[in-house]
Structures are given as structure tokens and as C-alpha cells.
Amino acid sequence: MRVFSYNGAEWGTRASFLGFCYSDWGKNSMFLHFLRRASVVLLCVLAVAGSPALAKRGNVAAAVNGSIASGGSNCTICHGGGGGSGSVQILGAPSVYAAGAIYDLTVRVSDSAQLGAGFQLSAEDGTGAHVGTLLITDAINTELNGSNPNWVNHTELGVVDSVANWAANGNSADYNVRWAAPASDVGPVTFFAAGNAIDDNNSLVGDNIYTTSQTATLAIVPAISDWGVATMVLLLMTTGTLLLRRDVATA
Ligand code: HEC
């Protein structure tokens, strides 16, 4: 048996290595002592270096879906690859939302040149503050991002499922997520999604990254006439307040 370094370069035969280890010099030297320590450290380093790679498939970093809160960062900060001719879509997002209402959204990643997909979704206001509540309805394939409920992602199993059903789904994968609108008016809400259409090689190359966003406004019907224009002008002049009537949200 021969001894190899982690990158495959040959260091020497195991016999010659052991010969050295069991020589008087090897057994008693500080060098061997150091070597023992170093090998433990090396194994630890390799274990740690290996684990993020394994974890990433099902444990994506938060704030990489191209949103305002992401500072525009998306999966491409790690994943390379061509632009691709596929897409990510947010289906079921309302164009007008009702306060307190529940919406079932689907993030669909499609790419006829690829073999599976992952995603990340968030709901934010114009300043990047997260709005409403993201709820998990499919815990096998989707999860909140670690302890951070502001982002929802694929799970590792979700990626495996997407690969298994990719062709049957017309070279696409659907991830279902529920969003509960905030109880009160917070103005326009934008859903941001990033999709990674993968070549299923467990690496950072050869993936196609897509981003999209869709904005929903709260159903408010300003009815100035109800107040009377004269009253409005008076109010505006005396208090600097502009009063609009807010109707009950409809959609
Ligand atoms: C901080 C770096 C980093 C970011 C940001 C990142 N990933 Fe990854 N991702 C990785 C690494 C490393 C791997 C490869 C290891 C693996 O597949 O287990 C990976 C693998 C994947 C895979 C499996 C790929 C395959 O071919 O099997 C999917 C799916 C995936 N990432 C989705 C995403 C999505 C979607 C985003 C953006 C919302 C994203 N990743 C952002 C590091 C990252």
C-alpha cells in the first residue's frame, strides 16, 4: 500500500513510511510526535473542509436570492456556469394581497439543459425588511433557512427529488411554499426567488442560476370624494395630513 496526500500526490510507500516511524529516530523524535499531531489536525481539517460541500446541497447560505435584503447577491457568488436558457418563476403570487390572507406559492425552476434544481425565496418590502410569514407545507423538499425564517430553501432531499422527477416534470422542478400576508398594511411586498438548475455533479461548476421577483400591493381603494375635496384641502393645510379612506382588501 502506498501513502497519498489528500490531492492524490504520492508521498511514498506505506512500508517506507512505517519503516521510518518505527526506526529509533522516528519513534522517539519530536518529528514523529509532531507528525502524529499533524495527521490528526489534517484529518480534522479535511473533515471540516468536506462537510460544507456536503451540507450546501441542503443547507444554502441565507440572503443569496438576489433580493434587496441580499444586497443583490445570489447563488452565483459560489455557483458558476453559463446563463442558460431556463428560468425561475414564482407562481401563485398575488398582484394584490389582502392583509392576513394566506397564499400558496410555487417556485418553478426549468431548464431543458439541466437535471435538477434548488431555490431560495423571500418576501420583502421596499427597504428589504422581511414581510409576512413564510410557512413550510412540504417539509421533505423545503425548509426555512437554518434558524432564519426570512428565507425558504430546498432541502437536500428536495434536490434529490427534483433530479428523480426532472424529466417527468418537463425538465423542471416545483417547490411549494406558503406565505401569510402581514396582519396590517405594509405597502407593496416583493417576492424574490433564485433558482439553481444543476447538472447534478455535486459541484459548483456547470450550474445555471436564475432570479426573478414579483410585487404585490395591498388592496387599498382611496376614495377622496367621500371626504369632500374642500375638507381634504383644509386638513392638508392645517395639519399636513392627507386622509385617504382605506377599504377592506378584496383579493
Ligand atoms: C456560499 C457558497 C454557496 C452559495 C451562496 C450557494 N451554494 Fe449551492 N452549493 C455550494 C456548494 C459548495 C455545493 C456543492 C456541494 C454539494 O453539492 O453538496 C453546492 C451545491 C448546490 C446544489 C447541488 C448541486 C449538484 O450538482 O448536485 C444545489 C441545488 C444548490 N447548491 C443550490 C443553491 C442555490 C439555489 C443557491 C442560491 C439561492 C446556492 N446554492 C447558493 C455552495 C453554495
Q: Alpha-carbon distance 166 to 182, whole Å?
A: 34
The pLDDT value given to residue 22: 47
| CB distance 118 to 159 below 8 Å | yes
Nearest CA to ligand 1 atom 39: 75
- Displacement of CA 76 from its chain's centroid (Å): 12
Q: What are the tens digits of pLDDT across the range 5-43? A: 333 444 444 444 444 444 555 455 554 454 455 554 444
The pLDDT value given to residue 59: 81
Contacts (Cβ under 8 Å, ≥6 apart) of 77: 64
Which of 66, 177, 48, 79 lies closest to 124, judged by CA?
A: 66
Q: What's the one-letter identity of residue 213?
A: S
E strand or H helix at 3? strand 2-4
Identify the segments of the chain with pLDDT beneath 70. 1-57, 220-251
What separation in Å is there between the alpha carbon of 60 and the centre of ligand 1?
A: 6
The pLDDT value given to residue 125: 97
Q: Kindly report the pTM of this predicted structure.
A: 0.72
What separation in Å is there between the alpha carbon of 131 and the centre of ligand 1?
A: 26
What separation in Å is there between the alpha carbon of 106 and the centre of ligand 1?
A: 20
Strand ranges (E), 75-227 = 87-91, 96-97, 102-110, 116-124, 133-135, 142-145, 148-154, 172-180, 189-198, 208-218
Other C-beta atoms lying within 10 Å of the C-beta of residue 77: 11
The answer to whether the CB of 81 is under 6 A from ligand 1 is no
The answer to whether the CB of 141 is under 6 A from ligand 1 is no
Q: Alpha-carbon distance 247 to 45, whole Å?
A: 61
Nearest CA to ligand 1 atom 32: 118
The pLDDT value given to residue 229: 63
The pLDDT value given to residue 33: 52
What separation in Å is there between the alpha carbon of 51 and the centre of ligand 1?
A: 13
| CB distance 154 to 239 below 8 Å | no
The answer to whether the CB of 108 is under 6 A from ligand 1 is no
